[in-house]
Amino acid sequence: MLLSPLKSLHSPSSLLERSRRRRAASPLFPTSSSSSSSSSSSCSVRCCSSSLSRCPLRYAVLGAGFAGLSVAWHLLKHCPKDLHLIIDIYDESGIGGGASGVAGGLLHPYSPKVKLLWQGASCWRECLKLLSIAEAAVGSRESTLGTHECSREKIIHRRGILRPAVDAKNLDILSKNAENCLPSCRIDSIDKEAAKTLVPDIRVPFNSLFYMPEALNVHPLNYLQALFMACEDLVKEMSASGSGSKELYLHKRSINQLSDLAGEYHAVVVCIGAKANLLPELAGKLPLRMCRGVIAHLRLPDHVKESYPDHSPSILSDAWLAIQGPRDLLVGSTWDWKSNNTSREVPAEEASQALDKLIPKASAVYPKIKDWAFIRAKAGLRAMPPLTSEGSLPLLGRIDHIVDFNQDCKYWFFGGLGARGLLYHGLLGKLMAQAVLQGDDSLLPSELTSWNKLKS
């Protein structure tokens, strides 16, 4: 398995500009006019830079969720064309085996109070790029193989999202925040009448709602599978056109300790979500709290004639309704801070308790939810980072000082994506890949690396 493409993923954001400028000075990018090298580049990497096509650079990416596949894509995309690069992805359950595979998939760059999130514009843009790359990979296979097995429609539902205000105080805050929305994901303030034209059966406590027409509902598993296909296509394309071959392998294997990989790789990127604390080298060293979430899949029974209108938006309130089709929706999510259970299986009792919490909340904005029948529940464990003045920001950075057993291999951590892995994974996967390629964690935003205080 291998191979991969690249349209230009470069963007004008300040973070990415900074990263690009530093990349130009990296020994891994010999076409640059600068020959200075990053002080933190590894010895092995420098060795490879002197004989790019002969010395393969080997990276391991642990985890094939949003974080791991974004890093893998961007490592391929940003590595020099003449470099022989080998990437091994390890996942104990396969693609989307963790929280990413069960996520609700609601995608927009705002907080629940519709405030633009940290680096919201860049995160939104980079995420949309990855989504379109994944869609294109499926599209190109459909046209090559003449198959519709992976339909583009199944990756993204383009319906927009409707957010009702729930009380007067809430309305003031939301209105103010909505004024600073992105042009590429605008927030229209609408009244009850307009809302009823979008979702005829919606119930709104106040005569005011916020409508995000460009917000998306992603099918996470289909998306991740398509992103992996895009990585494979990119490997093929780069290997065919450049002097250095690219190889990509997906191993369905659990890594029980990082030392198992010692000596095999130039860099190991740990993207194993809520299970990071289970690695003996990282146990107790990451400032993460776990929170289990359950999502219920509901379906309209055949005897109910009226279905959810074709283009009506998903709904975001105390519970969210992610519409999957005229007769299927997901309702979520619960927040169980006491659970460390990573299983996606939901026993009957847990499902029943989740429905008791979710249905009244959903019913407050969409009373007709009572007509829908429960089909199944699934669950995942969120790895929640500490709350900072900028929100709950993911944790990135070098962890050699924590791992500390093989100076030739650089260890990196990319986790704590909390409840927003989908939004963050594009931009942060890109920055992470650029930092790994250069062995320079100063390319990462300090807000995301400040947790790593023990860094040597």
Ligand X SMILES: Cc1cc2nc3c(=O)[nH]c(=O)nc-3n(C[C@H](O)[C@H](O)[C@H](O)COP(=O)(O)OP(=O)(O)OC[C@H]3O[C@@H](n4cnc5c(N)ncnc54)[C@H](O)[C@@H]3O)c2cc1C
* Contact partners, residue 142, CB within 8 Å, separation at least 6: 148, 150, 151, 152
Cβ at position 378, least distance to ligand X in Å = 8
The string over 67-98, giving b where at least 16 C-beta atoms fall within 10 Å of a residue's C-beta and e elsewhere, is: bbbbbbbbbbbbbbeebbbbbbbbbbeebbbb
Q: Which stretch binds ligand X (CB under 6 A): 157-165, 311-319, 369-377, 413-421?
A: 413-421
Work out whether 332 is an interface residue with ligand X (CB under 6 A): yes
Work out whether 298 is an interface residue with ligand X (CB under 6 A): no
Work out whether 417 is an interface residue with ligand X (CB under 6 A): yes
Give the whole-angstrom CA distance, residue 294 versus residue 349. 12
Give the whole-angstrom CA distance, residue 441 versus residue 429. 13
| Among 381, 335, 377, CA closest to 355 | 377
- Number of residues in the chain: 456
Cβ at position 168, least distance to ligand X in Å = 28
Tell me the number of residues near ligand X by CB under 6 A. 41
Give the whole-angstrom CA distance, residue 99 versus residue 68. 12
Work out whether 382 is an interface residue with ligand X (CB under 6 A): yes
CA 309 to centroid of chain Cα atoms: 29
- Find the Cα–Cα–Cα–Cα dihedral 357, 300, 195, 322, rounded to 10°: 60
Work out whether 68 is an interface residue with ligand X (CB under 6 A): yes
C-alpha angle with apex 251: 393 to 440, nearest 5 degrees?
40
- By CB under 6 A, name the one of 16, 71, 102, 215 that touches ligand X: 102
Work out whether 120 is an interface residue with ligand X (CB under 6 A): no
The contact mask relative to ligand X for 129-168 (x = CB under 6 A, - = no) is ----------------------------------------
Work out whether 174 is an interface residue with ligand X (CB under 6 A): no
Work out whether 104 is an interface residue with ligand X (CB under 6 A): yes
Work out whether 336 is an interface residue with ligand X (CB under 6 A): no
The residue to which tokens 């998903």 are assigned:
314
Work out whether 397 is an interface residue with ligand X (CB under 6 A): no
Work out whether 64 is an interface residue with ligand X (CB under 6 A): yes
Cβ at position 379, least distance to ligand X in Å = 6
| Among 437, 455, 435, CA closest to 19 | 435
Q: Which stretch binds ligand X (CB under 6 A): 99-107, 158-166, 259-267, 384-392?
A: 99-107
**Whose Cβ is closer to ligand X: residue 171's or residue 316's?**
316
Work out whether 421 is an interface residue with ligand X (CB under 6 A): yes
Tokens of 338: 């006491």
Give the whole-angstrom CA distance, residue 58 versus residue 233. 19
Q: Which stretch binds ligand X (CB under 6 A): 64-72, 204-212, 359-367, 385-393?
A: 64-72
**Whose Cβ is closer to ligand X: residue 223's or residue 244's?**
223
* Chain residues that interact with ligand X, rule: CB under 6 A: 62-68, 90-93, 97-100, 102-106, 254-255, 271-275, 293, 295, 332-333, 380, 382, 415, 417-423
